[in-house]
Amino acid sequence: MEIELSHRLSVLGHPQRLAVFRLLMRRYPGRVPAGEVASALDIKASTLSSYLAALVQAGLVSQTREGTFLHYQADMDGIRDTFGGLFLDCCRGRPDLCWPAQTPVPDQNADALGGACNVLFVCTGNSARSIFAECILRAEGGDRFNVFSAGTSPSPDVHPIALDVLKANGHVVDHLRPRTLQAFRGPEAPRFDFVFTVCDQAANEDCPVWEGQPVSAHWGLPDPVAAQGTEAEKALAFHQVYGALRRRISGFAALPIRQLSRTSLQNAVDEIGRDF
């Protein structure tokens, strides 16, 4: 175990391999194409290939082939074994020093939240997808949720087609404007119970760690702003994304949040991202 553990820690000790590992952890349970990892981290394909090979060999990442492309996913069995072994080896089983190795992660019921849950949706521009998600959950969740959205690089305005789609579905749009993630940092910001990324680019970025460790998930969808073609084809792209988000958020709003443990909530929101 010592040789395997030291090898895994050595693999993670390289800054760029660690960056690849962190990106795949943020995208878990999704599988990410190698080309997308290379683009997100600005790493040459040949260099990335060696980094991924080292992570796979160390048992920290798994590789699958889909058609002609290789996809990569964080290997949670290997990761748990690595960090569990590290804590156990270092503290020799002393529960006051290394509870991760000896006891389960605290699994609190959502009742501990008290009142409405604070939910944040994140995408890059905050001009369509995260705005859609905010409006849909406001409408479907009622007073059970306080809902916000933000962008990692917010656009100047909400996209006009997005506004048309929202109005066509009965949403009030007068108050909507893109906001930066920085607006939700600091002592006056809400403490979030759930954080969802709804675009791959935002999930790939090294976003801040949120205070209180909210339940988080990646619900990536194509960017309708990037759609090409006629005006009708562009509008269709916005309607399709709105519909996909509505299905996911309807599933989320229907969860018996107060009756589920944190682990069950995490599994549920991950499943929503895969199935809807």
**pLDDT tens for residues 215-269?**
999 999 999 999 999 999 999 999 999 999 999 999 999 999 989 998 899 999 9
Two structure tokens written together for 208: 């801040």
Integer Cα distance of 274 and 269 in angstroms? 9
Two structure tokens written together for 257: 């949040």
Structural domain tally of the chain? 2
DSSP 131-197: HHHHHHHHHHHGGGEEEEEEESS--SS--HHHHHHHHHTT---TT----BGGGG-STTS---SEEEE
Are 68 and 121 in a shared domain?
no
pLDDT of residue 97: 59
Integer Cα distance of 83 and 91 in angstroms? 12
Are 67 and 193 in a shared domain?
no
Maximal CA-CA distance, the chain: 65
pLDDT at position 1 over 70: no
pLDDT of residue 84: 78
Are 79 and 131 in a shared domain?
no
Are 164 and 213 in a shared domain?
yes
pLDDT digits (tens, 9 = 90+) for 80-139: 888 877 776 666 555 565 554 333 444 554 445 558 999 999 999 999 999 999 999 999
Are 67 and 18 in a shared domain?
yes
Domain end among 102, 119, 149: 102
SS3 (DSSP) at 232:
helix
Are 158 and 191 in a shared domain?
yes
Which of the pair, 188 or 242, is modelled with greater confidence? 242
Q: What percent of the chain has pLDDT over 70?
A: 88
Question: What mean pLDDT is reported for the chain?
Answer: 89
Domain end among 102, 137, 169: 102
